[in-house]
Structure 1
């Protein structure tokens, strides 16, 4: 108690209000038979008066019908004292026209005044979710004897209201059909206030647009028409990145690598996405990724996407992958998808091939079927500052090893040509916002690949700007891997910040010695959000079993991501 008094004294002594000699405004609640109540202070008289009036209404609704506000002046202090007066209670209530299904769910109101009040609020909420937004509840024939109340509750349901098609204000490109399906407001179903609130939250999470405010409701001929005002986001992306790396084939010289990233979102206002990504990893290695996504197939809750990827690794092998994916929104934050994927690998040239053993890479075909999911509670999909996201997938299928005509047949003896292969991945990220200019990003990712006969061109590929920085893109081959990204961000704009980061990983590669590697990297960079797009610059140093920690191996990436 003494400590608390001293703390309050020091707080008042050094507060800006005391130093400037300004008047302090407080609100004090005095409830009968409660010896001590807290007092709250406010910087302005208007805010204190508003809080006092709100407290008065709450006291009366809880049964303190004679509650009142008294103003008390002190030295540089004005206190609004809310006196409760006696607590009134009900000695009996008569119910008229209250729905039976509500009584079965909530039961009869109790004797205390607070119970009927909460009970009536629940009854109105119940009516709003049953298509009766204009329902009325009245307490009639009230009689008072001392602090005991008797009366009757009358319920008037009003007209039944059903959903009609929603409407759009302004000239947004989003199609009404897409918005209707995304909102989950079914035409012809009874009006529901809670469903409207859930739909509003769901639309606010859309990556394609933002809501300018809560929907305006229009009621016509017992139909409810929600009117939404949208602002389209600038999501389409053209990204060109140039990297300067040490040229391993010509020591002392630099190798210029590149990347082109084109992403077109919400084409035609229907949630239709197309993306193309090309990367040149080194002199002879290139990667290409294509993706097409269509939302609400045939106006069903299903989304469908098709993906194709190609990776040419030097002159040793080429990998191809084709994916057909179907997704379903299981909740406002959850997404579940089912997919089938066909992967194929083919050998190219084999310089220095040892005729006594199979090469590290091999020809194979792998047909797999899998399930994935995502749980997203980020506050913003583009530039989150708070919240977390969890995603993962698991797949299994039959892998078939093909015999290459350039390799002696006897080397394939004892090798299982058909076998079951499984694969799993998981990723979690967390955004923490400590102060207006200071935030932190944490991400963890892991993967596992299991089969008795795994070859180099089947393994996971990690490393680079989007995983473990300080290394070339897709630098590592891994059978199992896990890594953590830690990033401190110092914001100097809404979406612009300086960063300092560290990446730490562990992986297993059965074709390298030693097989276990624990790479790490650290560095700094800047993200600058401009009116036309995002400029980024990252400098990183990394170390692993096959790359020493040296400025000669420093990675510098910079680029301009243009949105339109």
Structure 2
């Protein structure tokens, strides 16, 4: 390739064009491509002077680049395009024209057209006309061909899952009739269907345009959202040296009424002769409003020592697909079952708290083993406890958060922080937090530890052998305080585990050994935890 001058030749050489070709047609295509590139660079007056054949294997193309225009003055009608949009792409914007670097013209016009589409004008067309030079400046007029009426969504039709809860369209996806039509925004919103537990998007949405209406078709399907979870744990009792078992059953039902509701039932019995019964009910978008309600009833019994009944009701507001806030009340009643009062640390009491909470949830839907990437739940409560006619102010704080750092598709790190704090002037044993076991610090008996303040850090290195099998390490650290006994202690749990996704569900095996800060490891303290989560 040659230019008319040495300077022009250097400009052409800087394009790094392809020099070897298999035939003449390929040469001509390359020359056309070079000329088009020169136009975009600002050499709009460049002229191709022909392709010259030197011999059977060498061809030379010649160009005369002429003047390069670095900027262009584009005149527009501010009724067709908003100057605020132009300020996003140009530094110099005036009432009648704006100035662009010439090499950004194509992308800038595409951006203006995109903004017009977002404003309900999907069929708008842009073009530059009356391109001219004036005193060494390049000028053009911007013409926008579009109908003055904005397109809005007139009808929404769900395909695949006909009974999809309509409230989720309005408040979760935030798509509703009479909304300004913007296909890119709609696609982003419908992708959030994959974050729902009970539904998935089958394919991208489609639009039917007619002369006076716009119909949006959303394609989704109902997925398995019910689960049954249970685990069996066993270990050696330090006092009796006998093998003891513990376990729990957890049933979760979701969207069986096509309302987006969820119901869970938990029953747990562990080796410390402790029994827990808990039921939760969540009703989202009550009366098609953005407000939902969460109800909980929990009953805890410690052998023949005491029982505690906890009831809570919360209203929640779904800000968007990831963020949710709560406000509610919690009432607790605990009864001392002992016939004598020799245990002064256990007492009848009633407590009431007003609570505020926030939740962040982010899913990674393609991953069947780890569908949730990050979760954060913060809660605070203020209230009082009444016992023997005395009232005492109390406050509670809690955090439960985890995240997965994916190094690649096989290797990842899992971190979880779980902490709770009860602030009070006096404490009863039957109001303290109970922790330990597979869902807190592993290697310890289920709910065997008592604390007024507790913080647990769970870490795992995970390696996925394939899409259905993973192995992981276990490294847990905990710190707790029991102000009733003036105890402060650090705990550690180490071990390994694996998970297998079977036809029956996700089977997990954990082996962990727990120890306190000042005591050595004992293999007799090891715990094996088995669990199975089945979806149906």
TM-score in same-fold range (> 0.5): yes
Using a 3 Å threshold, how does the CA distance of structure 1 residues 102 and 227 change in structure 2: closer, same or farther? farther
Quote the residue 1:50 is aligned against: none
| 1:489 Cα deviation from its structure 2 partner | 1.0
Quote the residue 1:310 is aligned against: 299
Give the whole-Å Cα distance in 2 for the aligned partners of 1:490 and 1:67.
61
Per-residue CA deviation, residues 300-356 of structure 1 (Å, 9 max, x unaligned), is 1112111111111122111111111111122342211112111121111166x43xx
Using a 3 Å threshold, how does the CA distance of structure 1 residues 91 and 485 change in structure 2: closer, same or farther? closer
Quote the residue 1:348 is aligned against: 337
Quote the residue 1:443 is aligned against: 416
Native 8 Å contact 1:172 1:232 kept in 2: no
Gap regions ≥5 residues in structure 1: 1-29, 40-52, 69-82, 404-416
Quote the residue 1:157 is aligned against: 146
3-state DSSP class of the match of 1:215? strand
| 1:422 Cα deviation from its structure 2 partner | 0.7
Quote the residue 2:453 is aligned against: 480
Alignment of 1:80-479 (within 5 A): 88-96=69-77, 98-99=79-80, 101-103=82-84, 106=87, 107=93, 108-114=97-103, 116-143=105-132, 148-158=137-147, 159-171=149-161, 174-193=164-183, 195-247=185-237, 251-282=240-271, 284-349=273-338, 353-354=341-342, 359-380=344-365, 383-384=369-370, 387-402=373-388, 417-479=390-452
Aligned length: 491
3-state DSSP class of the match of 1:166? strand
Query: TM-score, normalising length from structure 2?
Result: 0.81
Quote the residue 2:484 is aligned against: 511
Query: TM-score, normalising length from structure 1?
Result: 0.78
3-state DSSP class of the match of 1:213? strand
Give the whole-Å Cα distance in 2 for the aligned partners of 1:96 and 1:428.
53
3-state DSSP class of the match of 2:186? helix
Using a 3 Å threshold, how does the CA distance of structure 1 residues 345 and 186 change in structure 2: closer, same or farther? same
Gap regions ≥5 residues in structure 2: 1-7, 18-31, 49-62, 88-92
| 1:179 Cα deviation from its structure 2 partner | 3.5
Give the whole-Å Cα distance in 1 for the aligned partners of 2:47 and 2:439.
61
| 1:274 Cα deviation from its structure 2 partner | 0.7
Give the whole-Å Cα distance in 2 for the aligned partners of 1:346 and 1:152.
83
Quote the residue 1:74 is aligned against: none
Using a 3 Å threshold, how does the CA distance of structure 1 residues 283 and 218 change in structure 2: closer, same or farther? same
Residue 531 (structure 1) aligned to one of 503, 510, 516: 503
Native 8 Å contact 2:498 2:508 kept in 1: yes
Quote the residue 2:516 is aligned against: 544
3-state DSSP class of the match of 2:73? strand
Give the whole-Å Cα distance in 1 for the aligned partners of 2:505 and 2:36.
50
Using a 3 Å threshold, how does the CA distance of structure 1 residues 256 and 87 change in structure 2: closer, same or farther? farther
Q: Which moved more, 1:388-397 or 1:296-305?
A: 388-397
Per-residue CA deviation, residues 77-98 of structure 1 (Å, 9 max, x unaligned), is xxxxxx9x77534453321464
Cα RMSD, aligned residues only: 3.6
3-state DSSP class of the match of 1:178? helix
Give the whole-Å Cα distance in 1 for the aligned partners of 2:262 and 2:110.
44
Using a 3 Å threshold, how does the CA distance of structure 1 residues 325 and 544 change in structure 2: closer, same or farther? same
